[in-house]
Amino acid sequence: MRQANVYAPPAYNGLGDGSPPGYSDVGFDYVYNTVLQANANPTEQLSIMNDADFAWRAMYIASNTGPFSVRFSDSQWYWLSSARILNLNLPGDAADPFPIFPELLLPAGGRIGIDIQDLSGAQNTIQIVMRGVKRYRISGLY
């Protein structure tokens, strides 16, 4: 039995375009890079570009040099979890990222809030990738 790859473009799965009417979805990743000092606990944000909305569909931790915990919010500071999640509990890599379901639509010019805490007791270099699509409005249709 063949299964669809939910992260592949719809055409690769033998389906028509999955973009909503009047929009065009284009694959895009936002990358969050940080270097945390020992036991630091900053609340930061990752800005969404002004050219299109971002439909956040998955995430993965590309690299880290020690343990940390993290939680994310949308543009209205609505936290997606009630507490920070240990990085070991966010499995996934570039080939099999941790899904965000249903997708989270973030407006152009919005942001992803990131509440992150170092647990290593030493300097910690971290890279987190937010995978999704830029959702462009097709002008002239509506």
Question: Is it the case that residue 95 has pLDDT exceeding 90?
Answer: no
CATH architecture classification, 28-137: Sandwich (2.60)
Q: Which two tokens stand for residue 49?
A: 């570009």
pLDDT computed for residue 139 by the predictor: 77
Reported in sequence order, the residue ranges of 14-142 that DSSP labels E, i.e. its strands, are: 23-36, 43-47, 53-64, 68-73, 85-86, 98-106, 111-118, 124-137
If pLDDT is split at 50, 70 and 90, which confidence band does 132 have?
very high
Residue 28: pLDDT over 60: yes
| Out of 73-82, 86-95, 106-115, 133-142, least confident range | 133-142
Asked whether residue 142 carries a pLDDT value surpassing 90, the answer given is no
Domain boundaries, the chain: 28-137
pLDDT band at 106, cuts 50/70/90? very high
pLDDT of 20: 85
In this predicted structure, the answer to whether residue 114 has a pLDDT above a threshold of 70 is yes
